[in-house]
Amino acid sequence: MRTLMKLAALGLAAVLTTAGPALAQDWLGGTPKKPINELKVGFSFRGGAGGNLYVLQYVDKVREMAKELGVEVVMVDAEDDPGRQTQQMPELIAQQPDVIVVWALNAAGIVPALKQAHDAGIPIVTIVADVDESGKQYVTAHAGPNDTLQGKQAARALIEAMGGKGNVVALRGPTGFGPADQRHQAFLDVAAEYPDIKLLDAQDSNWSVDKGQSLMENFITRFGHDIDGVISSDGYTGTGGYLAVEAAVKAGQIEEGHIKFADPNAVGTSYDLVAAGKYSAGVLQLPQSDAEFSFRIAIKVAAGIPVDRYNYLPTPVITPENATEYPRPEL
């Protein structure tokens, strides 16, 4: 099947029979019920066909780790289609993996697929994007970034840069996608603690520089000098917002340096803006670190080793003062 890809460590079985568990012993934290290099992992990922660098780098890291550990990974690519992702679950169940890893495209829409896997007796690990409350009963563990925390980290950094008062516009991610919803709600929760912070408007920017730029142009037309801060759901849209403001400054519409920016998921361009002092803050979430952290949790679940229900990737806040202490995202 076109969307089905098997990653087997061919020709390495003799080496990995001993090397696999040895490589894992420093982080495994228990005795596996099955040799690591005999495990099979099903992986439903959101899709990299659109060139999403975070997805592509994440999947590349999973492939690298699978080869290193001698683990077979069966992948299905949802191609950024929530309905397709649900329909693909029987493909993974039929492979009888030791665990199914799900990168959910829609927090509620994925629930029927989770139930299918759960009813088939296969443990589920969700990654990157958490799922709707109605589906959590089917999930053994979640691993990845804490989007609520990251949203709060960015919100506090922005509001601090604004001096605790002023008007904000939000370039949020797609409504219905877990990380986008959680990051935006986190901003609202933090903003509620500051009576002098007002949200002027929030629009879906779909993780796009171009969409972020066009929405910000519209915000400038509507609100102009009333805008004091921009909170975005990721560095791509934040970069787009910054470009719109930069153009407005050159046109004399906006005072240079007045509008502050922060986002809960820095990319290369927003990192550069932070390092240059043009952008207040970003939160660092590297795909390779995320993949390694989460794949290890999935391996533990597959091997029958107990894990916490929620397992969160550390995500430092980068500012103009400390940006150079952290690696630049290759995104």
Q: If residue 101 lies in a helix (H) or strand (E), which one and from where to where?
A: strand 99-102
Tell whether the model's pLDDT for residue 224 goes beyond 60.
yes
Greater confidence (48 vs 311) lies with: 311
CA dist., res. 198 & res. 161, Å (int): 15
Give the pLDDT band (50/70/90) at residue 20: very low
CATH numbers and ranges of domains, the chain: 4-145+286-314 (3.40.50.2300), 147-284 (3.40.50.2300)
CA dist., res. 310 & res. 141, Å (int): 6
Q: What is the mean pLDDT of the chain?
A: 92
Closest CA to 291 of 158, 117, 143: 143
Say which residue the tokens 């039929």 belong to: 94
Q: pLDDT tens-digit profile of 162-217?
A: 999 999 999 999 998 889 999 999 999 999 999 999 999 999 998 999 999 999 99
Burial of 221 (0-12, 13-18, 19+ CB in 10 A): exposed
Q: pLDDT tens-digit profile of 259-273?
A: 999 999 999 999 999
The proportion of the chain whose per-residue pLDDT surpasses 90, expressed as a percent, equals 88
For residue 133 the two structure tokens come to 């409350």
Tell whether the model's pLDDT for residue 15 goes beyond 50.
no
Query: With contact defined as beta carbons under 8 Å apart, do 66 and 39 qualify?
Result: no
Say which residue the tokens 């990653």 belong to: 7
Give the pLDDT band (50/70/90) at residue 50: low
> What is the predicted pLDDT for the residue at 94?
98
Buried b (16+ CB within 10 A) or exposed e, 156-181: bbbbebbeeebbbbbbbbeeebbbbb
Query: With contact defined as beta carbons under 8 Å apart, do 291 and 145 qualify?
Result: no
Query: With contact defined as beta carbons under 8 Å apart, do 65 and 292 qualify?
Result: yes
Q: State the angle between helix axes of 287-302 and 53-69 in degrees (0 to 180), rounded to the nearest 10.
A: 40
* Count of all residues that appear for the chain in the document: 331
Q: Average pLDDT in the 143-151 region?
A: 97
Tell whether the model's pLDDT for residue 49 goes beyond 60.
no
CA dist., res. 161 & res. 321, Å (int): 13
Q: Average pLDDT in the 100-129 region?
A: 97
Among 174-183, 230-239, 242-251, where is mean pLDDT lowest?
174-183
CA dist., res. 193 & res. 158, Å (int): 13
Tell whether the model's pLDDT for residue 36 goes beyond 50.
yes
SS3 label, residue 241: helix
> What is the predicted pLDDT for the residue at 2?
37
Greater confidence (14 vs 27) lies with: 27
Burial of 209 (0-12, 13-18, 19+ CB in 10 A): buried
Closest CA to 134 of 162, 158, 160, 115: 115
Buried b (16+ CB within 10 A) or exposed e, 115-128: bbbbeeebbbbbbb
Q: State the angle between helix axes of 268-275 and 235-250 in degrees (0 to 180), rounded to the nearest 10.
A: 50
Give the pLDDT band (50/70/90) at residue 26: confident
Q: Average pLDDT in the 279-304 region?
A: 97
